[in-house]
A and B are shown apart, each in its own frame.
Chain A
């Protein structure tokens, strides 16, 4: 016989009163879990706030077919657009496919390559993410969502059932995350904010709101302001309004915009050929984030060449009084209270743009040039 083979057929069980131990463990576990749930509910966490995972994204991607209205982009598309308010205005509930902090171009490619999709795509253009952020992160996210095994799909469904009932299921409350958030001294190579902290609440169909703590907790809000300023401004972020010029622009901006525009122009043409359409949206930002974005990505070097090259309709918040003046607590995203009102204004504007015959003919920024709301800025 092989020397290793142990001819045993039972494993030793340690001598203990296992029945009583199991009962005590179960009782303590229930008490601790209940306490944990209560604790987090007292700290602004709520049931029905879902984790955004590739699996949840993939579920929504399956709905993006036919003449669906599809939202792509990053966190501004999440938090600024309220799906219910859009539905009220436009009569159709959009499919939310934005991915926070990621370049949306691979999602646009994917929709353009899908012969079953002939709907309307609303694409967020947040300069740094749209022109600079590597696409590989988006591609990996999409692939992970689609390459799920049957088991992973089932786990995702069960997980969502639990998330609908339990507030503590959130990546922010994990033990490992709590440890990461402990205030140890920083080392020389460390970025002050390690990972983007919780900034939103997400519902089952990825309808998303700004998390209430950002609005109520000034210190927490300041954390985000620092973060967005870091990401927004490129090489010359600014805390005060300063003029934008070619000299303040992100290095290599012309080539970056040219490359991105050529690529999305191809996607826009494909979607339009099937009877669909693409509208680019520049969502509001304010204060130092807006100043920094404007200096890093001046409108004449980024937004306008994009529309000219693609021939697509574009809605830039700065062109419409009805899209300005909302509360952006951390200078970058809409407050939960203002998101429905902003969405209503945006939806009615876009419905009017799309209905306008010029917008189908591919004249650049036709919505702006032909719309009565253009204020000439």
Chain B
């Protein structure tokens, strides 16, 4: 179910109503769990089975790990969680990719291998909930946390619908304790939650889908080589689209959870005001970058095993982070480039400025958005002004609106880089809050929204 759908509006009203009835806490949690499964099943009922398996495996794995101190046995039990979760990911997300690459490699050494047609549907959100589930087993394995005593709390942690399909990736230590005692939003939490939902949906429906996505599509789907201005407009529009799409989802998720009385962690912190790439990754998709840091980079040795190993760890983490986004070499290159930027920044000990960081990030997004390297090169060539008979595919309407939205986004990020949304809202006159909230809500209604999926649903 998409947050930006009419079905969700009805669903959320029902869930909110049930959650505020005078029912026992245990019953309310069961309501939330059932609602979360419905939320997921509304996309594809059979894939709820995957959620159940992932939940059951990590519940048992954590219990078994905590019951023994034998390191070899703990490792073997942990392997069960990793094999199950990464196995699902491997099969559903990377199966075709691996098979295709195997076929290419086989052909390269003279074997005539044609892979069978493998038409696999990617279960939505699988990359998010498997990472969240693995984190629970890893925390117990690494003695960072004790397993929870209630299966219901753990199942709800994995499945809780606000974060289920596109994050934020929530740590067990943050969310599971919140299920222990009755929670209901106060009137102010409920209202601020609704305001955050409006902001998130405004970002997604109006800015990302309504104004920026058509420009990005026009540039990336052009059958001709395009001119420099159009190429840069398309690239800048994608910087805006990917931010408003994903940050919009995260903000809505946080607002939904808050309206029910739960706290989720921030996932974005005005990333286009980052000074350098390590700062960027502290601000962009924070829940993934910190997951990768805590469960991959640090266990690999982090920066504790010498300079060379640190660079290698950075590259491995970012390459796998790139691959997490999708089964394509373009994502690997995107991750690898960010790994290289982090390594160079560390070596030079001097981060680029805010604008420099943004421009490099924008150019690198080309690999993220393009479906093939050829398409990425074509666009990069156009951005460099090296295209031959370049076509003007965009209208002045497009170029103007991208300039306005991306300009406003950059100035907002710059202004907010050292503060928080809550601080700014608290310091804003009430009449201005009313006007801004009304404007966003009205724009949402007027734009109507076509119910387009969030980009990160596909990851």
Q: In whole angstroms, how far apart are the Cα atoms of A182 and B210 in the complex?
A: 15
Contact code string A176-195 (vs B, CB < 8 Å = 1, else 0): 10011010111111100010
Find out whether the CB atom of B258 lies under 8 angstroms from the CB atom of A11. yes
Q: In whole angstroms, how far apart are the Cα atoms of A188 and B394 in the complex?
A: 10
B189 interface residue (CB < 8 Å to A): yes
Q: Please give, as numbers and ranges, the residues of chain B lying within 8 Å of A22 by CB-CB distance.
A: 191, 194
Find out whether the CB atom of A184 lies under 8 angstroms from the CB atom of B194. no
A158 interface residue (CB < 8 Å to B): yes
Contacts A2-B290, A176-B211 given; does A186 touch B7 at CB 8 Å: no
Instruction: Choose from A4, A17, A189 the contact partner of B392 (Cβ within 8 Å).
Output: A189
Q: Please give, as numbers and ranges, the residues of chain A lying within 8 Å of B426 by CB-CB distance.
A: 14-16
Q: Please give, as numbers and ranges, the residues of chain B lying within 8 Å of A169 by CB-CB distance.
A: 448
Q: In whole angstroms, how far apart are the Cα atoms of A16 and B436 in the complex?
A: 14
Q: Please give, as numbers and ranges, the residues of chain B lying within 8 Å of A33 by CB-CB distance.
A: 442, 445
Classify chain B's interface size: 35 or more
Find out whether the CB atom of B263 lies under 8 angstroms from the CB atom of A159. no
Q: In whole angstroms, how far apart are the Cα atoms of A69 and B174 in the complex?
A: 60
B100 interface residue (CB < 8 Å to A): no
Find out whether the CB atom of B396 lies under 8 angstroms from the CB atom of A187. yes
Find out whether the CB atom of A6 lies under 8 angstroms from the CB atom of B451. no
Q: Please give, as numbers and ranges, the residues of chain A lying within 8 Å of B9 by CB-CB distance.
A: 158
Find out whether the CB atom of B191 lies under 8 angstroms from the CB atom of A176. no
A216 interface residue (CB < 8 Å to B): no
A20 interface residue (CB < 8 Å to B): yes
Find out whether the CB atom of B294 lies under 8 angstroms from the CB atom of A2. yes
Find out whether the CB atom of B392 lies under 8 angstroms from the CB atom of A13. no
Contacts A4-B171, A174-B448 given; does A16 touch B211 at CB 8 Å: no
Contact code string B427-459 (vs A, CB < 8 Å = 1, else 0): 000100110011001110111100100000000
B1 interface residue (CB < 8 Å to A): yes
Classify chain A's interface size: 35 or more
B42 interface residue (CB < 8 Å to A): yes
Q: Taking CB as reference atom, which chain B residue is nearest A194?
A: B395
A218 interface residue (CB < 8 Å to B): no
A5 interface residue (CB < 8 Å to B): yes
Contact code string B333-355 (vs A, CB < 8 Å = 1, else 0): 00000000000000000000000
Q: In whole angstroms, how far apart are the Cα atoms of A25 and B431 in the complex?
A: 10
Q: In whole angstroms, how far apart are the Cα atoms of A149 and B7 in the complex?
A: 11
Find out whether the CB atom of A13 lies under 8 angstroms from the CB atom of B188. yes
Q: Which residues A107-143 have CB closer than 8 A to chain B?
A: none
Q: Which residues B27-64 have CB closer than 8 A to chain A?
A: 41-45
Q: Taking CB as reference atom, which chain B residue is nearest A180?
A: B397
Q: Please give, as numbers and ranges, the residues of chain B lying within 8 Å of A158 by CB-CB distance.
A: 6-7, 9-10
Contacts A2-B290, A189-B392, A189-B393 given; does A17 touch B430 at CB 8 Å: yes
10 smallest CB-CB distances across A and B, nearest first, come from A151-B42, A4-B290, A189-B392, A184-B396, A14-B426, A176-B210, A18-B191, A14-B425, A158-B6, A2-B294
On B, residues with C-beta under 8 Å from A are 1-2, 5-10, 41-45, 139, 144-145, 171, 173-174, 177-178, 186-189, 191-192, 194, 206, 210-211, 214, 254, 258, 263-265, 286, 290-291, 293-295, 391-397, 400-401, 420, 422-423, 425-426, 430, 433-434, 437-438, 441-443, 445-448, 451
Q: List 21 A-B contacts (CB under 8 A).
A: A3-B290, A3-B294, A4-B171, A4-B286, A6-B265, A7-B174, A9-B177, A14-B422, A25-B434, A25-B441, A36-B442, A151-B1, A151-B5, A154-B6, A154-B10, A155-B5, A155-B6, A158-B6, A158-B9, A173-B446, A184-B397
On A, residues with C-beta under 8 Å from B are 1-22, 24-25, 28-29, 32-33, 36, 149-152, 154-155, 158-159, 162, 168-169, 171, 173-176, 179-180, 182, 184-190, 194
